[in-house]
A and B are shown apart, each in its own frame.
Chain A
Amino acid sequence: MSLMDEVTARALSLGIPFSLHLDVTYRCNERCVHCYLDHDDHGEMTTDEIKRVLQQAAATGTLILTLSGGEPFLRKDFFEILTYARSLMFAVKIKTNGMLIGPEQAERLRELHIGEVQISIYSHRADVHDAITKVGGSLDRSLKAIRFLRDQGLNTVISCPLMRANIVDYPQVQTLAAELGVKFTMDPTITPKMDGDASVVKHRIAQPDIARVFQDSTLVGDVNEFCRPSGPVTDDLLESVPCSAGHTSVYVSPYGDVFPCVQFPVACGNLRQQSLEDVWLHSKQMNQIRSIRVRDLHTCSGCNHVSGCTRCPGLAYMEGDMRGPSSADCEKSLIKAGLAEMSSGPEVAQAPLVQIQALW
């Protein structure tokens, strides 16, 4: 068990929201085709309201703070928020498109000891990247920001969400990250919009492409280990919690709404009316989610893939049942099982699979 696993386990046993994701705005200067947000401002929290949320989070024990949006740098008070967050000794991670980061902003971020800045790059080709963001010149501006951040010695990460439009480009984005001397991460998850609109999931990559990604050792490390057949379904596993959402992590929207996770749109309370501690401890919805164990997942608990599956309860919820399966994750588990079968021989093929039809 790594030290971080130990600390997270301690946070779980103490009931601490160790990690808080706060979107400071949903406004954005890009219009990415796969985005799950509505970019209008419906009444964002003020600077003072956000500071109060941060104060409450620090008092509740939160250490890791992810600030994102929308585009967080669109808020004129963003550096004031960052400064306040660092004065409360949060480990701060920022997710941004970098379009508003110049040399001066990069220097200020370094002075504030920001732990990580993550910037989405969809392709090394401007025509592909800019078509996804729907903003001409956006690749150029994001790459400039990455160079400014790197030159300040900041921990900078290129994130490459995988979609049908850019699936062939990620190896070149990976190469670009290496050339720039920054980290690279990718994610094939495309989430329905927070209002339930599933139109954006048409951008999800196709099954053969997921299989190719799962066999790319530069992304998954040891492919055999990554695709290893799921372990036995033990009592310990059945008594475990399915996900950190609502257990050690929490999400707050720009309007103060509290959710277990950014991908789990069950409204649990609002920080304009309640304190974070009050919502965290006493929200009926939060406690309902927190009570769920793997044993309670009516379909997944009987599935042989349950020990190795990365089932997202938020995606399951958006499919209609937070205790049910997430078809996107079933698909990934089945693909992994198929790859394991190809590499490991017939004994893996004997494992019964739960077959679930993707809804989208």
Chain B
Amino acid sequence: MRSLYVGRSEAVAARMMGGEIVVISPEDSSLFTLNAVASCIWNSADGDSTLEQIVRNQVCAEFEVGFDAALEDAAAFVREGSQHGILQVSEQPLPRNPQVVLPTPETKL
């Protein structure tokens, strides 16, 4: 499998909410909710890391999952995300994404 670099689209709006990331694509106002694993990939998609690196260093470190299975799921997520324009995929490193504020607000009320 080729090494693919993954970056977040700079067009999207996003916020962490209850451990999951909510993403809005301004292109078509689509709303996405990413589960914990997808959120981990999305957060790590800095344009500088390959999908393999993200899966090995982030996903497998955070979740109890084998590398091969995680990579397969991650590749499917990245493919879908790039089709919807919330992720960018390239064989070359992408411009590094700026640091974003994605806080995890706790239930406070």
A interface residue numbers (CB < 8 A to B) = 3-4, 6-7, 10-11, 13-16, 18, 55, 58-64, 87-92, 113-116, 155, 281, 290
| Number of residue pairs A-B, CB distance < 8 angstroms | 79
Interface footprint category on B? 20 to 34
A-side contacts of B108, CB under 8 Å: 15, 281
B103 at the interface (CB under 8 A from A): yes
Q: List 9 A-B contacts (CB under 8 A).
A: A7-B33, A14-B107, A58-B15, A63-B15, A87-B98, A89-B14, A91-B24, A113-B11, A115-B29
In contact, B26 and A4 (Cβ under 8 angstroms): no
- A60-B101 CB under 8 A given contacts A3-B31, A14-B18, A89-B12: no
Q: How far apart sit A113 and B106, CA to CA, in the bound complex (Å)?
A: 29
In contact, B109 and A62 (Cβ under 8 angstroms): no
B-side contacts of A10, CB under 8 Å: 17-18
Interface-centre pick from B14, B26, B101, B102 (highest chain A CB count, 10 A): B26
The 7 closest A-B pairs by CB, nearest first: A15-B109, A91-B13, A61-B105, A63-B15, A113-B11, A58-B101, A115-B26
- With CB as the reference atom, state the residue of chain B lying closest to A277: B108
B100 at the interface (CB under 8 A from A): yes
- A58-B109 CB under 8 A given contacts A7-B31, A14-B17, A113-B10: no
Q: How far apart sit A114 and B108, CA to CA, in the bound complex (Å)?
A: 30
- A155-B102 CB under 8 A given contacts A63-B13, A63-B15: no
- With CB as the reference atom, state the residue of chain B lying closest to A153: B27
Q: How far apart sit A129 and B24, CA to CA, in the bound complex (Å)?
A: 34
- With CB as the reference atom, state the residue of chain B lying closest to A60: B105
B60 at the interface (CB under 8 A from A): no
In contact, B17 and A7 (Cβ under 8 angstroms): yes
Q: Could you tell me the distance in whole angstroms from the C-beta of A277 to the nearest C-beta in chain B?
A: 8
A-side contacts of B98, CB under 8 Å: 87
Name B17's contact: one of A16, A55, A90 (CB within 8 Å). A16
In contact, B105 and A14 (Cβ under 8 angstroms): yes
B22 at the interface (CB under 8 A from A): yes
B interface residue numbers (CB < 8 A to A) = 10-18, 22, 24, 26, 29, 31, 33, 98, 100-103, 105-109
In contact, B26 and A3 (Cβ under 8 angstroms): no
A-side contacts of B12, CB under 8 Å: 89, 113
B-side contacts of A87, CB under 8 Å: 98, 100
- A4-B15 CB under 8 A given contacts A15-B107, A113-B26: no
In contact, B13 and A13 (Cβ under 8 angstroms): no
A-side contacts of B29, CB under 8 Å: 115-116, 155
A-side contacts of B13, CB under 8 Å: 63-64, 89-92, 115
- With CB as the reference atom, state the residue of chain A lying closest to B107: A14
A-side contacts of B106, CB under 8 Å: 14
Q: Could you tell me the distance in whole angstroms from the C-beta of A65 to the nearest C-beta in chain B?
A: 9
In contact, A3 and B14 (Cβ under 8 angstroms): no
B-side contacts of A64, CB under 8 Å: 13, 24
B-side contacts of A155, CB under 8 Å: 26, 29
In contact, B109 and A281 (Cβ under 8 angstroms): yes
Q: How far apart sit A64 and B24, CA to CA, in the bound complex (Å)?
A: 9
A-side contacts of B103, CB under 8 Å: 58-61
Q: Could you tell me the distance in whole angstroms from the C-beta of B33 to the nearest C-beta in chain A?
A: 6
In contact, A7 and B22 (Cβ under 8 angstroms): yes
- A3-B33 CB under 8 A given contacts A58-B15, A91-B24: yes
- With CB as the reference atom, state the residue of chain B lying closest to A113: B11
A-side contacts of B16, CB under 8 Å: 61
Q: Could you tell me the distance in whole angstroms from the C-beta of B84 to the nearest C-beta in chain A?
A: 13
A-side contacts of B100, CB under 8 Å: 87-89
